[in-house]
Amino acid sequence: MKVHNVEMIGSFVRPEQFPEDGLPEFALAGRSNVGKSSFINRMIGRKAMARISSKPGKTQQLNFYKIEEQLYYVDVPGYGYAKVSKSERAAWGKMIEKYFMGRDQLRAVVLIIDIRHNPTNDDCMMYDFLKHYNIPVIVVATKADKIPKGKWDKHKKHVRETLQMDKQDPLIVFSSEKGLGFEEAWAEIESRM
Ligand code: GTP
Ligand code: MG
């Protein structure tokens, strides 16, 4: 998709605040600092539309970006940040559960993992959660610019094995820095709109 028009609709917590125009939504999920906001920025061709966080784990809201009047990217606060209090973690869980499980417009969750490392326990839990509730998942292994191309296949294999991914679920090698995987990611998104 060629993106000309992006609108930041708002930062919301409660379902009654979410947009009501029924456009398809694609939400990001992944560890804090893994590159979720950077993925959105690359996909929409804006350097800093989605906030690249200086304080990981502090965002407690869902940020809705409307693209070409056709779809939303929803930036979701990351998980796994150590310095988050118990009550903040619980609030995060409640918000995510409500949104992921109860949102008809949600076409897929883009689960971002770091291609350099094996997925964490939290990554596995998120993948299992999405599968359990039949929410389609697109796994994106980002920061591919940080390892040589010759190692991508090996790392992809580790990701598939660790997450115990369904064969039919896509796994896209990506780099927000270099734009790698951009076409493939848009093709996945557009096929689900
Ligand atoms: P939270 O909102 O805190 O959960 O983080 P996030 O997942 O949105 O990560 P964010 O996009 O803010 O990126 C975190 C850091 O990783 C920033 O310093 C980015 O510049 C860097 N980064 C993200 N994607 C890439 C990538 O593909 N390649 C490289 N080299 N750096 C990246
Ligand atoms: Mg972010």
CATH number at residue 35: 3.40.50.300
pLDDT of res. 142: 98
The number of domains in the chain is 1
Residue 12 lies in a domain: yes
Residue 158 lies in a domain: yes
Residue 166 lies in a domain: yes
Question: Which two structure tokens, joined as six digits, stand for 111?
Answer: 């689960």
The domain in which residue 39 lies consists of: 6-190
pLDDT tens by residue, 128-187: 999 999 999 999 999 999 999 999 999 999 999 999 999 999 999 999 999 999 999 999
Phi-psi region of 51 (alpha: psi -120 to 50; beta: other; left: phi over 0): beta
Q: What percent of the chain has pLDDT over 90?
A: 82
User: What are the start-end ranges of the H helices in the chain?
Assistant: 36-44, 86-102, 121-132, 152-163, 182-190
How much is the CA Rg of the chain, to the nearest whole Å? 16
Residue 103 lies in a domain: yes
Residue 1 lies in a domain: no
Q: Is 63 in the pocket of ligand 1 (CB under 6 A)?
A: no
What ipTM is given for this predicted complex? 0.99
The neighbourhood of ligand 2, an ion, using CB within 5 A, equals 36-37, 53
Distance 64 CA to ligand 2 centre (A): 12
pLDDT tens by residue, 56-67: 655 578 999 999
Q: What's the pTM?
A: 0.96
Residue 186 lies in a domain: yes
Contacting residues for 5 by C-beta, under 8 A, at least 6 apart: 67, 68, 69
Least Cα distance to 29 among 125, 118, 137, 112 occurs for 112
What is the distance between the alpha carbons of residues 47 and 154, in angstroms, rounded to a whole number? Answer: 30
**Measured from the CA of 51, which atom of ligand 1 is nearest?**
12
Q: Is 175 in the pocket of ligand 1 (CB under 6 A)?
A: yes
Instruction: Report whether pLDDT(54) > 90.
Output: no
Helix axes 152-163, 121-132, angle to 10 degrees: 60
